[in-house]
Amino acid sequence: MRLLKTVLVIVIGVILVTSCGREEKQGLNQNEVKAENRVKSGIIGTVINNVPVLTADENSLVKSWNDFLEENGIDETIRNVRIEKINDKYYAVALGNGVKSVRSLIIDEDLNAIIDKKVTCTTTDCSATPNCFPQGNTCVSCDKPEHKCTKIISSGEM
Protein backbone atom coordinates (compact mmCIF):
# COMPACT_ATOMS: atom_id res chain seq x y z
CA MET A 1 0.00 0.00 0.00
CA ARG A 2 2.83 2.37 0.89
CA LEU A 3 4.57 1.57 -2.42
CA LEU A 4 1.34 2.31 -4.31
CA LYS A 5 1.03 5.75 -2.62
CA THR A 6 4.66 6.58 -3.45
CA VAL A 7 4.22 5.59 -7.11
CA LEU A 8 0.97 7.56 -7.28
CA VAL A 9 2.66 10.70 -5.84
CA ILE A 10 5.53 10.35 -8.34
CA VAL A 11 3.14 9.91 -11.30
CA ILE A 12 1.07 12.95 -10.27
CA GLY A 13 4.27 14.97 -9.81
CA VAL A 14 5.54 14.03 -13.28
CA ILE A 15 2.19 14.93 -14.84
CA LEU A 16 2.15 18.34 -13.13
CA VAL A 17 5.75 19.14 -14.09
CA THR A 18 5.31 18.18 -17.75
CA SER A 19 1.96 19.94 -18.13
CA CYS A 20 3.30 23.18 -16.60
CA GLY A 21 6.29 23.00 -18.89
CA ARG A 22 4.01 22.68 -21.93
CA GLU A 23 1.92 25.67 -20.87
CA GLU A 24 5.03 27.80 -20.39
CA LYS A 25 6.37 26.67 -23.76
CA GLN A 26 3.00 27.40 -25.44
CA GLY A 27 2.98 30.83 -23.79
CA LEU A 28 6.44 31.54 -25.15
CA ASN A 29 5.44 30.38 -28.61
CA GLN A 30 2.32 32.56 -28.53
CA ASN A 31 4.42 35.58 -27.46
CA GLU A 32 6.92 34.89 -30.24
CA VAL A 33 4.08 34.70 -32.78
CA LYS A 34 2.59 37.97 -31.50
CA ALA A 35 6.00 39.71 -31.76
CA GLU A 36 6.50 38.31 -35.26
CA ASN A 37 3.02 39.51 -36.32
CA ARG A 38 3.76 43.00 -34.98
CA VAL A 39 6.92 43.15 -37.06
CA LYS A 40 5.20 41.73 -40.14
CA SER A 41 2.28 44.16 -39.82
CA GLY A 42 4.68 47.11 -40.07
CA ILE A 43 6.36 45.74 -43.20
CA ILE A 44 5.30 47.69 -46.27
CA GLY A 45 8.03 46.83 -48.73
CA THR A 46 11.31 45.18 -49.61
CA VAL A 47 14.49 46.03 -51.47
CA ILE A 48 15.26 44.08 -54.64
CA ASN A 49 18.54 44.82 -56.43
CA ASN A 50 18.87 48.11 -54.50
CA VAL A 51 15.39 49.21 -55.62
CA PRO A 52 12.66 49.74 -53.00
CA VAL A 53 9.48 47.83 -53.83
CA LEU A 54 6.10 48.43 -52.21
CA THR A 55 4.71 45.04 -51.13
CA ALA A 56 1.72 46.23 -49.10
CA ASP A 57 -1.57 46.82 -50.91
CA GLU A 58 -1.44 50.41 -52.17
CA ASN A 59 -5.23 50.91 -51.98
CA SER A 60 -5.21 49.85 -48.32
CA LEU A 61 -2.28 52.17 -47.62
CA VAL A 62 -4.03 55.11 -49.32
CA LYS A 63 -7.23 54.54 -47.31
CA SER A 64 -5.29 54.09 -44.08
CA TRP A 65 -3.16 57.18 -44.75
CA ASN A 66 -6.22 59.33 -45.51
CA ASP A 67 -7.86 58.10 -42.28
CA PHE A 68 -4.62 58.93 -40.43
CA LEU A 69 -4.54 62.49 -41.86
CA GLU A 70 -8.22 63.04 -41.02
CA GLU A 71 -7.76 61.75 -37.44
CA ASN A 72 -4.94 64.27 -37.02
CA GLY A 73 -6.93 67.24 -38.31
CA ILE A 74 -5.37 67.46 -41.78
CA ASP A 75 -8.15 67.99 -44.33
CA GLU A 76 -6.31 66.67 -47.41
CA THR A 77 -6.61 63.55 -49.54
CA ILE A 78 -3.74 61.55 -50.92
CA ARG A 79 -4.12 59.39 -54.02
CA ASN A 80 -1.02 57.21 -54.19
CA VAL A 81 1.80 55.88 -52.03
CA ARG A 82 5.29 54.91 -53.11
CA ILE A 83 8.65 54.24 -51.51
CA GLU A 84 11.42 56.73 -52.27
CA LYS A 85 15.04 57.01 -51.30
CA ILE A 86 15.83 60.53 -50.06
CA ASN A 87 19.36 61.32 -48.86
CA ASP A 88 20.22 57.58 -48.69
CA LYS A 89 17.19 56.77 -46.48
CA TYR A 90 13.86 55.19 -47.38
CA TYR A 91 10.53 56.98 -46.99
CA ALA A 92 6.91 56.24 -47.80
CA VAL A 93 5.73 59.20 -49.87
CA ALA A 94 2.01 59.82 -50.23
CA LEU A 95 0.89 62.32 -52.84
CA GLY A 96 -2.41 63.96 -53.60
CA ASN A 97 -3.63 67.11 -55.29
CA GLY A 98 -1.24 69.69 -53.80
CA VAL A 99 -0.42 67.64 -50.71
CA LYS A 100 2.65 65.59 -49.85
CA SER A 101 2.96 63.42 -46.78
CA VAL A 102 6.22 61.60 -46.04
CA ARG A 103 6.72 58.85 -43.47
CA SER A 104 10.02 57.47 -42.14
CA LEU A 105 10.89 53.88 -42.91
CA ILE A 106 13.70 51.65 -41.73
CA ILE A 107 15.41 48.78 -43.49
CA ASP A 108 15.59 45.51 -41.58
CA GLU A 109 18.31 43.63 -43.39
CA ASP A 110 17.66 40.44 -41.38
CA LEU A 111 14.07 40.35 -42.66
CA ASN A 112 14.97 41.98 -46.01
CA ALA A 113 12.06 44.31 -45.35
CA ILE A 114 11.16 47.98 -45.22
CA ILE A 115 9.32 48.74 -41.98
CA ASP A 116 7.13 51.71 -41.00
CA LYS A 117 8.85 53.94 -38.39
CA LYS A 118 5.72 56.01 -37.63
CA VAL A 119 7.08 59.59 -38.01
CA THR A 120 5.11 61.54 -40.64
CA CYS A 121 5.64 65.02 -42.08
CA THR A 122 2.84 66.55 -44.16
CA THR A 123 2.63 69.78 -46.19
CA THR A 124 0.53 71.57 -48.76
CA ASP A 125 2.74 74.66 -48.76
CA CYS A 126 5.89 73.08 -50.20
CA SER A 127 4.60 69.84 -51.68
CA ALA A 128 6.43 70.47 -54.96
CA THR A 129 9.82 70.68 -53.23
CA PRO A 130 12.00 67.91 -51.80
CA ASN A 131 11.58 69.34 -48.29
CA CYS A 132 9.20 68.45 -45.45
CA PHE A 133 10.36 64.92 -44.71
CA PRO A 134 11.27 63.14 -41.45
CA GLN A 135 14.81 63.28 -40.12
CA GLY A 136 14.93 61.34 -36.86
CA ASN A 137 11.95 62.51 -34.79
CA THR A 138 11.77 65.93 -36.47
CA CYS A 139 10.80 67.22 -39.90
CA VAL A 140 13.10 68.97 -42.35
CA SER A 141 11.22 72.22 -42.81
CA CYS A 142 10.06 73.84 -46.04
CA ASP A 143 12.31 76.37 -47.79
CA LYS A 144 10.38 79.37 -46.50
CA PRO A 145 9.64 79.82 -42.79
CA GLU A 146 6.00 80.74 -43.49
CA HIS A 147 5.42 77.37 -45.20
CA LYS A 148 3.92 74.80 -42.87
CA CYS A 149 5.30 71.28 -42.39
CA THR A 150 3.29 69.27 -39.85
CA LYS A 151 4.90 66.44 -37.87
CA ILE A 152 2.81 63.58 -36.49
CA ILE A 153 4.19 60.61 -34.56
CA SER A 154 1.82 57.68 -34.85
CA SER A 155 1.32 54.80 -32.46
CA GLY A 156 -0.50 52.65 -35.01
CA GLU A 157 0.17 51.07 -38.36
CA MET A 158 0.01 52.96 -41.60
Q: 151 pLDDT exceeds 70? A: yes
Of 4 and 155, which is predicted with more confidence?
155
Question: The whole model's pTM is what?
Answer: 0.66
Q: How far apart are the C-alpha atoms of 114 and 97, rounded to whole Å?
A: 26
Output the pLDDT for position 156.
60
**Closest to 55 in 3D by CA, of 115, 133, 110, 109:** 115
Output the pLDDT for position 21.
47
Rg (CA), the chain: 25
Q: 8 pLDDT exceeds 80? A: no
Output the pLDDT for position 16.
53
> What percent of the chain clears pLDDT 70, i.e. is strictly above it?
72
Q: 107 pLDDT exceeds 50? A: yes
Q: Give the per-residue SS3 of the chain.
A: CHHHHHHHHHHHHHHHHHHHHHHHHHHHHHHHHHHHHHHHHHEEEEEECCEEEECCCHHHHHHHHHHHHHHCCCCCCEEEEEEEEECCEEEEEEEECCCEEEEEEEEECCCCEEEEEEEEEEECCCCCCCCCCEECCEECCCCCCCCCCEEEECCCCC
